[in-house]
Structure 1
Amino acid sequence: MTVDQLIFDYLFQLSLNSGYSTYDHLPLETENAPYPFVVIGSVQTLPVVTKNALQGQLVANVDVWGDGEGRFKVSQMMNDIFVQSSQPVELDGYSVRLKIDDYDNQIIQDTSVPNTVLNHGMMTLVFNLN
């Protein structure tokens, strides 16, 4: 399995294990996804190849969506995912550790759906891969 898929699966399972509705895409209107929910988005691999191993960084984007009154819940969910992902983990022989000093998050109000205000939390998680 590729390292980007390993971290994607890890974050997806971490979110599910926390009891959050979790998707690999922004749910379609026909999916009737209740708020709040988590979307595990893109994962970028920044490899550093050595003689003996693949090292580098993995950059993962995680979004949390809540309704207009759910900002506090969105913030809690983001913090929970951050805290849980900050624990070092072994994934298929790779040692993966979150770079806490590179953590980035924000919550914005999204009005892209007519007559609706949503809270959109966006996190960027950077992992060292050894």
Structure 2
Amino acid sequence: MSITDSPTWQRLEARWAEGFEQLHAEEQEAIALWWLEAETMNGTLDQYFWNSAGDQALIALRGLHSLGMPVTLLAFSAALALFGEHYPCEREARMQVLETLEAQHGDTLFLAPSRVIQDLPEDFVQAALDRLQVLYATL
């Protein structure tokens, strides 16, 4: 069964339809981590950062940390560090930084950390859903 077909994901989607901001931190992290995996697997972190999914990068980072995913956390942190001290969560601002970064360093800048995440050393999306299943049992 696909993760998005699971009862836990279905409940998450129903709650998400009411608005992202009203979700519990664990739910926001699950969504942000799903997008991190989906975009990185479909392309690379370059694609993730160029798209609106990259707006949630700091939430994904928090999720990797709270779930104890050290290998993925290290790779993702290395990619985020390329943006400098303050990651631009707004897409338009991030696109300007990406244009500068790619002009200076080429479009393979995020390839190494992308490969680490694509190897899935830790199943962070499943871990996020497992945590939600426990949370939902208490609500």
**TM-score, scaled relative to structure 2:** 0.29
Higher helix proportion: 2
Q: Which has the higher strand share?
A: 1
Q: TM-score, normalised by structure 1?
A: 0.31
Does 1 or 2 have the higher relative contact order (CA < 8 Å, sep 6+)? 2
